[in-house]
């Protein structure tokens, strides 16, 4: 029983999650021979203030790159 844990920054739509689950399942089954009905995909959404990249919070990176009004 394959289990995939996927961590993403919060904000994906339900349609995007559906697509991810379908495509990850399809690829995993094709590559490993696993059965779709036994394949589990868990999506863990992480807030942008709880995710760091290149020494900075994603929250701060987004704020710095936002267009100035």
Cα 7 from Cα 62, distance rounded (Å) = 18
Nearest to 37 by CA among 27, 29, 47: 29
> Which of 1, 2, 6, 69 does the annotation list as catalytic?
2
Catalytic residue check, 67? no
Please identify every residue annotated as catalytic. 2
């Amino acid at each position: 029983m394959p289990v995939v844990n996927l961590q993403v920054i919060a904000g994906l739509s339900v349609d995007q999650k559906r697509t991810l689950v379908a495509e990850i399942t399809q690829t995993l089954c094709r590559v490993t021979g696993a059965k779709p009905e036994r394949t589990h995909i868990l999506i863990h959404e992480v807030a942008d203030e709880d995710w760091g990249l290149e020494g900075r919070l994603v929250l701060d990176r987004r704020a710095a790159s936002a267009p100035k009004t």
